[in-house]
Amino acid sequence: MKTIAVINQKGGTGKTTTAVNLAAACARRGYWTLLVDLDPQSSAAHSFGLDPASAPATLSKAILEDRPLVEAIRTTNTAGVEVVLGGPELATLELRIKNPLTAVRVLARLLQPVRPAYDLCVLDAPPALSLMFTNALSAADGLLVPVTPSFLSAKGLEMLFTTIEEARADLAIEPQLLGIVLTMIDRRLSLDKEVEGSLRQVFGAKVLDQVVRQNVRLKEAPGHFRSIFAHAPNSSGAEDYDAVAVETLARMGLPAQAPQKEEAPGLSSELREPPELPQSESQAPKRAGEGTAEAAAVALAG
Ligand SMILES: Nc1ncnc2c1ncn2[C@@H]1O[C@H](COP(=O)(O)OP(=O)(O)O)[C@@H](O)[C@H]1O
Ligand SMILES: [Mg+2]
């Protein structure tokens, strides 16, 4: 399982939109994907019609009560995407966590047992330099940074990269910067073109070639509890996020289409509740059997 953290300490840069639709795009391309909601506001879970506030198990409860993460995993209406519910208690985790020494790596530790069951893990990080932000850094193999076109975003990026460098040194972690993805771009606006130009000049190849254009369909989709591919498959949003997924996979050294699996990975269905909404995306990978973790590991390795 490769882990991609979608991060930016600034709110409203398109992190959740990117995490949700990147996960959906990768699932359509055959990658069995776990989306982890690290924001106490639970926007990623809400985007699939899931409500952590009323859920018996969440990531926060797994952390605070030392329970297995699998209890907090839910299927979604998008085949191939499963979600770890974060929970509103993530907001006050810093104050309540029992062992501050291991707190920055708790997410990576909890993810360990489910790793054989998924090809990819996408982390939707909170808009703050909080404990869960640090956890996203320490659990990630690669970082994807959504940025909106404004002159302040470049300043914000400097701060973000300084924080990442400090975390790298302090925590001895090696997350790779996969790229900066420009979101909500309107190339008809001279300001957007100017900011895009200057970000490409400063950050060079770190900026993904593919941008995400402004598209009202992307704004609507969460209200219908579905990804852009189910909501508006012919929209520019669907086109852009599929291309962002392909470029991101390539930057991780992964093919655009996941290798065919003899036995689809996935955790035992007895551990889960049924999906809350009907299946609506049929191109995604199908679960072939119940697949033990070992069988899944073999399938993934092959
Ligand atoms: N490409 C886009 N075009 C139009 N609206 C967008 C686009 N990307 C995100 N949005 C909207 O912008 C708002 C902020 O996006 P969101 O993904 O929630 O950001 P973050 O998670 O960084 O706070 C949301 O209302 C979202 O629907
Ligand atoms: Mg968000």
Cα 180 from Cα 101, distance rounded (Å):
31
Q: Is 245 helix (H, G, I), strand (E, B) or coil?
A: helix
Mutate which of 8, 17, 20 for ligand 1? The one with the most ligand atoms within 8 Å of its CB, which is: 17
- Domains annotated for the chain, with CATH where assigned, are 2-262 (3.40.50.300)
The Å distance, Cα 219 to ligand 1 centre, comes to: 6
Interior/surface letters 128-142, b for 16+ CB within 10 angstroms, e for the rest: ebbbbbbbbbbbbbb
Cα 189 from Cα 268, distance rounded (Å):
50
Q: Identify the pLDDT of residue 278.
A: 40
pLDDT higher than threshold 70 for residue 279 = no
Q: Identify the pLDDT of residue 266.
A: 56
Cα 302 from Cα 300, distance rounded (Å):
5
Average pLDDT of the chain, as a whole number: 87
The Å distance, Cα 220 to ligand 1 centre, comes to: 10
Ligand 1 close to Cβ of residue 219 (< 6 A): yes
Ligand 1 close to Cβ of residue 116 (< 6 A): no
Residues whose CB is less than 8 angstroms from the CB of residue 254 and which lie 6 or more positions away in sequence, other chains included: 2, 31
Query: Which residues lie near ion ligand 2 (Cβ < 5 Å)?
Result: 15-16, 43
Query: Closest-lying ligand to the alpha carbon of 22?
Result: 1
Q: Identify the pLDDT of residue 292.
A: 39
Q: Identify the pLDDT of residue 102.
A: 86
Q: Which of 134-148, 154-168, 199-213, 234-248 has the lowest mean pLDDT?
A: 154-168
Closest ligand 1 atom to 215 CA: 3
pLDDT tens for each residue of 176-208: 999 999 999 998 999 999 999 999 999 999 999
Residue nearest to atom 26 of ligand 1 (CA): 219
Query: Closest-lying ligand to the alpha carbon of 182?
Result: 1
Ligand 1 close to Cβ of residue 73 (< 6 A): no
Residue nearest to atom 7 of ligand 1 (CA): 184
Band (pLDDT 50/70/90 cuts) for residue 275 is very low
In sequence order, the β-bridge partners of residue 70 are: none
The Å distance, Cα 153 to ligand 1 centre, comes to: 15
Tell me what percent of the residues of the chain surpass a pLDDT of 90: 74
Q: Identify the pLDDT of residue 263.
A: 61
Ligand 1 close to Cβ of residue 210 (< 6 A): no
Name the strands in the sheet holding 142-147, side by side, starting at the edge strand that comes first in the sequence: 73-75, 81-84, 33-37, 120-124, 2-6, 142-147, 176-182
pLDDT tens for each residue of 203-234: 999 999 999 999 999 999 999 999 999 999 99
Ligand 1 close to Cβ of residue 215 (< 6 A): yes
Residues whose CB is less than 8 angstroms from the CB of residue 65 and which lie 6 or more positions away in sequence, other chains included: none
Band (pLDDT 50/70/90 cuts) for residue 262 is low
pLDDT higher than threshold 50 for residue 300 = no
Ligand 1 close to Cβ of residue 16 (< 6 A): yes
Q: Identify the pLDDT of residue 72.
A: 96
The Å distance, Cα 130 to ligand 1 centre, comes to: 21
Q: Is 178 helix (H, G, I), strand (E, B) or coil?
A: strand
Band (pLDDT 50/70/90 cuts) for residue 264 is low
Tell me what percent of the residues of the chain surpass a pLDDT of 70: 86
Q: Is 18 helix (H, G, I), strand (E, B) or coil?
A: helix
Band (pLDDT 50/70/90 cuts) for residue 152 is confident
Ligand 1 close to Cβ of residue 212 (< 6 A): yes
Q: Which of 54-63, 88-97, 135-144, 175-184 has the lowest mean pLDDT?
A: 88-97
* pTM (two decimals): 0.89
Cα 67 from Cα 28, distance rounded (Å):
31
Name the strand (E) or helix (H) holding 273: none
Longest dimension (CA), the chain: 54
The Å distance, Cα 199 to ligand 1 centre, comes to: 20
Q: Which of 149-153, 173-177, 252-256 has the lowest mean pLDDT?
A: 149-153
Give the mean pLDDT of 43-62. Answer: 95
